[in-house]
Amino acid sequence: MRTLVIALALLLPPAAAAEATQLSYVDQGQVWVSTLDGAQKRAISGPAPVVAPGESRAWTEQAQSDDGWIVAVARVSGGTGAAAPTRVWSPDGAVAAQSTLGYHGAYNNGSLAVPVQLDLGPGGQQMIYTYSDMVYGYPTSTLYQGTWATNTSNSSGEPFDVPSLIGSSLVGSRWVGVNGNAGTNDDNVVVEAAGGQAPFSTTFTPWFHATGAWSVDVAANGSVAAVIYQLDNNSPYALGLFAANGVGAPLPGPSCDVPAVGGVHAVSVSQDGRWLAWVDDRGLVTAALAPITTSPCPLGGAPTVISATGSYPSLGATTLATPIASPATGTSPARTSPSSPSPSPSKPTVTVPKTVKASAFAKGLTLAVTVKRQGTVTAIAKVGATALARATTKAKDAGTVKLRLKASKRLARRLSRYRGKTLTLTVRAPGGVVAVTRRLR
């Protein structure tokens, strides 16, 4: 990696860290916060801002700093992050900054599908986000990958670019990520060199090797490193934990795999290394961590499913999910129920794998649709304005029908270009219309 230095203006005031650890995440187009047991939740964002009439914009990605600041991005369904609205909430829930997401114009005319991942620095001052985009050309194609950094209070400018740093996150103000150019046996998990110029330096040093590493998150106290990895293209993404003695210090040895269900899509480690949040086929789950020994990782109890549809989990010092005692009575005022909106009793339900590979459309992706009465069921799979596949069937009575979404031969040869992009599955059936989104692998 080339050595560069970034100096970003410090425009937001620092805040004292809150005492408790809570979870922030995205669910059904809004930003939520929850206690670790899921007992108390609330949405803090409200609907996403509308930039143009008729657009389907929602809060799609979010992250929380170690000290409880939260940032989110509002993208159009299936669209890129370029110029998408951003918002920052302070630990007390107030909106501290609003801007739009910048992009590097030299890459594919700025049309990269960003952000793949997102993280926020202390005090809510700077954010980083990773990108990945395959630009096809003849006779060669180019894969652009890396991480961008920008000020949250003025994120609309062209961000600072660190090519080939993927799956990145922040430990305080230090970057940790995966070197996309590392050799097969090299230490591919890297960390920003200590003593770099504030707030960021792009001088990185190798830390440790994790085969097939795709993403990394580290406890603020440096006790645990969590790595999402894939051994080969036919294996699901797994989650490994590595015991650590400090960020960048030699690992003491113990590591283990988290007993996930299906593929793992995102992970966050609490600042003290005692809690873990991740997304797998059950949805967004949390679990207490026990000392790392051998696989599977020992957990401090059964995982709690916070939300079947939650994504982009981030553990931090926010306390926004906890009711605040009334000064007059000493009791906690009621807050709006955090439960997801209940579906209409006649509305169809759609079952689709949590992990969807772009290549699945070559042979056909199977959807299971449950309807309450007979009628025609149609489904369409789209990435942006491109329809990957369509299918129609007839439900003879109430129950479950299956549809197979298969791309044409012409499109099947180009499915790999859609990896990393947002897939929208829209199903129209007796009782209504249901839309499901997935990020294609």
CATH assignment of the domain containing 268: 2.120.10.30
Q: Which residues contact 363 (CB under 8 A, 6 or more apart)?
A: 406
At 116 the pLDDT is 85
Q: Say if 60 falls within a structural domain.
A: yes
Q: Are residues 82 and 130 in the same domain?
A: yes
Whether the per-residue pLDDT at 409 is higher than 90: the answer is no
Q: Are residues 284 and 423 in the same domain?
A: no
CATH assignment of the domain containing 402: 2.60.40.1940
Q: Are residues 210 and 356 in the same domain?
A: no
Where residue 188 falls among pLDDT bands split at 50, 70, 90? very high
Q: What is the pLDDT of residues 148-175, one digit of tens each?
A: 888 887 777 778 888 889 999 999 888 9
Where residue 4 falls among pLDDT bands split at 50, 70, 90? very low
* Residues facing residue 316 across a β-bridge: 22
Where residue 346 falls among pLDDT bands split at 50, 70, 90? low
Q: Are residues 175 and 289 in the same domain?
A: yes
Q: Say if 399 falls within a structural domain.
A: yes
Provide the residue range defining the domain that includes 41.
Answer: 5-316
Q: Say if 324 falls within a structural domain.
A: no
Q: Are residues 62 and 141 in the same domain?
A: yes
pTM higher than 0.75: no
Whether the per-residue pLDDT at 344 is higher than 90: the answer is no
Q: Are residues 242 and 125 in the same domain?
A: yes
At 338 the pLDDT is 39
> Contacts from 291-296 at CB under 8 Å and sequence distance 24+?
291/243, 291/254, 292/224, 292/241, 292/242, 292/243, 292/254, 292/255, 292/256, 293/254, 293/256, 294/254, 294/256, 295/255, 295/256, 295/257, 296/256, 296/257, 296/258, 296/259
Q: Which residues contact 314 (CB under 8 A, 6 or more apart)?
A: 23, 24, 25, 62, 63, 64, 70, 119, 268, 277
β-pairing, 189-192 vs 174-179, is antiparallel
Domain count, the chain: 2
Among residues 316, 335, 369, the one where a domain terminates is 316
The stretch 49-69 carries a mean pLDDT of 91
Q: Are residues 39 and 152 in the same domain?
A: yes
At 101 the pLDDT is 86
Q: Say if 338 falls within a structural domain.
A: no
Among residues 316, 341, 362, the one where a domain terminates is 316
At 199 the pLDDT is 53
Among residues of the chain, what percentage have pLDDT more than 70? 86
Q: Say if 331 falls within a structural domain.
A: no
CA distance 241 to 225: 6
Q: Are residues 288 and 367 in the same domain?
A: no
Q: Are residues 76 and 194 in the same domain?
A: yes
The stretch 49-76 carries a mean pLDDT of 92
Rg of the chain over all Cα atoms, to the nearest angstrom: 22
Of 121 and 19, the structure prediction assigns the larger pLDDT to 121
Q: Say if 179 falls within a structural domain.
A: yes
Q: What is the pLDDT of residues 128-138, one digit of tens each?
A: 999 887 777 77
At 135 the pLDDT is 77
Whether the per-residue pLDDT at 327 is higher than 60: the answer is no
Average pLDDT score, the chain? 84
Q: Say if 336 falls within a structural domain.
A: no
Q: What is the pLDDT of residues 275-297, one digit of tens each?
A: 999 999 999 999 999 999 888 99
CA distance 436 to 239: 24
Where residue 5 falls among pLDDT bands split at 50, 70, 90? very low
Among residues 294, 316, 338, the one where a domain terminates is 316
Q: Say if 130 falls within a structural domain.
A: yes
Of 168 and 105, the structure prediction assigns the larger pLDDT to 168
Out of 16-20, 106-110, 356-360, give the one with best mean pLDDT.
Answer: 356-360
CA distance 160 to 171: 19
Q: Are residues 359 and 426 in the same domain?
A: yes
At 331 the pLDDT is 43
Q: What is the pLDDT of residues 209-246, one digit of tens each?
A: 999 999 999 999 999 999 999 998 888 999 999 999 99
Residue 269 corresponds to which amino acid? V
Phi, psi of 363, rounded to the nearest 5 degrees: -95, -20
Q: Are residues 15 and 70 in the same domain?
A: yes
CA distance 130 to 144: 10
Q: Are residues 277 and 417 in the same domain?
A: no
